[in-house]
């Protein structure tokens, strides 16, 4: 299967090319030419497979030019997770609400789900080509630590992480600036995440920068979700959730929702001799409790979203056959996505980024929306809309286009006061949710089956947790973290404990105009 540019479908590329060259010419992003439609037999046979086996079968359905052996090796990165048998956990919150915990990887955020295997994938391709790469990322909080962890000490890859100074949580910042691997460079950038992401995109398209890197024997790629390699691994856990719900009787065994404009795939027999402990990662009591008479044919997914990559994974999974009903987009006070999905307007005019207690979602320019528009409305219309956004800082969908979006999506947002309320609410039930996950609770509809996507462990946001739960300021983050962990019987992972005594390795903070020079000076050392 080929990937195509979101702005020009005639521009095609193999996955191996797009992984190393994530931006298409003309400013577009690479996205699948089509999506495989997974059969009912595929889903049924997956019920007896492990997460890694399911992931490999899903990836094989795309028929990319990268071998199954390479992907199989990349998926072994999940052995580094809290539960090597299954990197995610599904738990029951209430009668009709479940939570998908995606933060059980090495940096305690959902970005590990994609970046751990993605890092291994890029490493393998670079080694096979006998090439060296500079991998860059811009982060609003979690992409940075996950990228650095994925590429640390790689002899064929150097990695540079850009983060907005003051625009992440303190723990997220420490996870970056205390990285000691010699092949990593971390730069604080004066400005917000949109400024930082804009600087990254500019460098990815800068021929002079690429030529300078070439003279240093380095090729350029990116670890942000502009790279489809990231999105690929984010599709999988939504399909997993669908399989899990069917296996445990939460969903009725009726036919999947009608799919269209896709190819039939994966009709071949699967090896069903794999692991029988498919649900091992779920809470044991929950696994028993879901054995009930199912009253739902689909489940709604509620996704905290800033750059839209995680939500896009849900959309692609739905098109591939996951029993997803509505995809609900939860935003913070930077409610640009709420406006898009409710009014059909993307309006940056006069907007300034608001810093919130959910900093990873402090984004106004959501890159992956472009992939959604391209899939729904085609390349020409997407190019028109993206040009309008650059030129006018604004675009408006037609009434019919908005109606098509709303067939699949709903959206709402929470300000910090509302987020704090939901954190407090869940803590009274003994559950700690981080400020990003908290935005989802405004969209819960108990008349439907809900899957809340939990993207980060609470421990990365202790000051906000203390403020919400205890109603006071956090004066000593370590002490308050320990107190909460004891009260709620939530252990502090060793990779967080070590941060409080580890030395800071990276201290550079630069203007946006200084990023290129700072990178080249480091490379030439």
pLDDT in tens, 154-182: 988 999 999 999 999 999 999 999 999 99
pLDDT at 33: 97
Pairing of the two strands 299-304 and 324-331: parallel
Bridge partners (DSSP) of residue 189 are 164, 510
pLDDT at 294: 73
Q: Grade residue 257 by pLDDT with cuts at 50, 70 and 90.
A: very low
For 5-35, the pLDDT digits (tens) are 999 999 999 999 999 888 898 899 999 999 9
pLDDT at 277: 32
Mean pLDDT of the chain: 92
Q: Grade residue 254 by pLDDT with cuts at 50, 70 and 90.
A: low
Structure tokens at 501: 């005594």
- Please say if the pLDDT value at position 255 is more than 50: no
The Cα–Cα gap between 303 and 75 comes to 24
Structure tokens at 193: 């995440």
For 99-111, the pLDDT digits (tens) are 999 999 999 999 9
For 421-449, the pLDDT digits (tens) are 999 999 999 999 999 999 999 999 999 99
> Domains of the chain by range and CATH?
35-109+227-353+408-460 (3.40.50.1100), 114-226+503-524 (3.40.50.1100)
SS3 (DSSP) at 380: helix
- Please say if the pLDDT value at position 96 is more than 50: yes
- Please say if the pLDDT value at position 259 is more than 80: no
Question: Residues 180-183: contacts with CB within 8 Å, 24+ apart?
Answer: 180/505, 181/148, 181/152, 181/153, 182/153, 183/151, 183/152, 183/153, 183/154, 183/155, 183/157, 183/158, 183/159
Q: Grade residue 312 by pLDDT with cuts at 50, 70 and 90.
A: very high
Which of 308, 309, 290 shows the shortest CA–CA distance to 299?
A: 290
- Please say if the pLDDT value at position 464 is more than 60: yes
Of the given ranges (42-46, 186-190, 293-297, 339-343), which has the lowest mean pLDDT?
Answer: 293-297
Distances (CA, A) of 87 to 50, 90, 97, 270: 10, 10, 20, 22
- Please say if the pLDDT value at position 279 is more than 70: no
The owner of tokens 């993605």 is 118
């Amino acid at each position: 299967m080929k990937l195509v540019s979101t702005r020009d479908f005639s521009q095609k590329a193999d996955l191996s090319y797009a992984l190393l060259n994530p931006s298409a010419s003309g400013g577009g992003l690479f996205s699948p030419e089509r999506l495989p439609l997974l059969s009912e037999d595929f889903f049924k046979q997956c019920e007896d497979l492990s997460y890694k086996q399911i992931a490999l079968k899903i990836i094989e359905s795309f028929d990319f030019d990268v071998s199954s052996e390479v992907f199989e090796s990349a998926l072994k990165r999940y052995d580094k997770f809290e539960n090597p048998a299954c990197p995610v956990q599904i738990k029951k919150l209430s009668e009709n609400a479940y939570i998908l915990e995606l933060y059980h990887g090495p940096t305690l955020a959902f970005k590990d789900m994609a970046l751990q295997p993605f890092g291994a994938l890029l490493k393998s391709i670079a080694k096979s080509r006998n090439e060296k790469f500079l991998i860059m990322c811009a982060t609003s909080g979690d992409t940075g630590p996950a990228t650095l962890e994925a590429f640390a000490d790689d002899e064929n890859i150097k990695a540079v992480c850009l983060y907005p100074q003051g625009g992440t949580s303190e723990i997220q910042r420490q996870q970056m600036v205390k990285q000691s691997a010699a092949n990593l460079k971390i730069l604080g950038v004066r400005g917000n995440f949109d400024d930082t992401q804009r600087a990254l995109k500019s460098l990815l398209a800068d021929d002079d920068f690429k030529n300078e890197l070439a003279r240093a024997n380095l090729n350029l790629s990116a670890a942000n979700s502009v790279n489809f390699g990231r999105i690929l691994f984010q599709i999988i856990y939504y399909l997993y959730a669908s399989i899990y719900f069917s296996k445990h009787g939460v969903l009725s065994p009726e036919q999947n929702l009608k799919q269209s404009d896709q190819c039939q795939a994966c009709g071949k027999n699967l090896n069903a001799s794999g692991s029988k402990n498919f649900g091992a990662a779920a809470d044991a009591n929950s696994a028993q409790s879901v054995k009930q008479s199912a009253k739902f044919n689909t489940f709604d997914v509620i996704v905290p979203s800033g750059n839209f990559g995680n939500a896009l994974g849900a959309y692609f999974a739905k098109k591939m056959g996951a029993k997803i009903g509505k995809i609900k987009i939860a935003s913070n006070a930077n409610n640009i996505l709420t406006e898009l999905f409710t009014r059909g307007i993307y309006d940056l005019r006069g907007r300034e980024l608001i810093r919130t207690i959910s900093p990873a979602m402090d984004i106004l320019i959501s890159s992956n929306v472009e992939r959604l528009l391209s899939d729904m409305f085609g390349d020409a219309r997407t190019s028109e809309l993206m040009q309008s956004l650059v030129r006018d800082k604004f675009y408006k969908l037609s009434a019919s286009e908005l109606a098509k979006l709303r067939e699949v999506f709903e959206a709402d947002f929470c300000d910090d006061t509302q987020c704090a309320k939901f954190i407090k609410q869940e803590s009274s039930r003994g559950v700690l949710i981080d400020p990003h996950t908290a935005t989802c609770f405004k969209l819960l509809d108990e008349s439907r089956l809900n899957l809340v996507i939990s993207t980060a462990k609470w421990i990365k946001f202790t000051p906000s947790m203390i403020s919400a739960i205890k109603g006071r300021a956090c004066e000593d983050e370590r002490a308050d973290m320990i107190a909460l962990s004891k009260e709620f019987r939530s252990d502090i992972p060793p990779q967080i404990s070590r941060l409080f005594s580890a030395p800071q390795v990276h201290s550079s903070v630069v203007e946006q105009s200084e990023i290129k020079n700072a990178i080249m000076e480091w490379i030439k050392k």
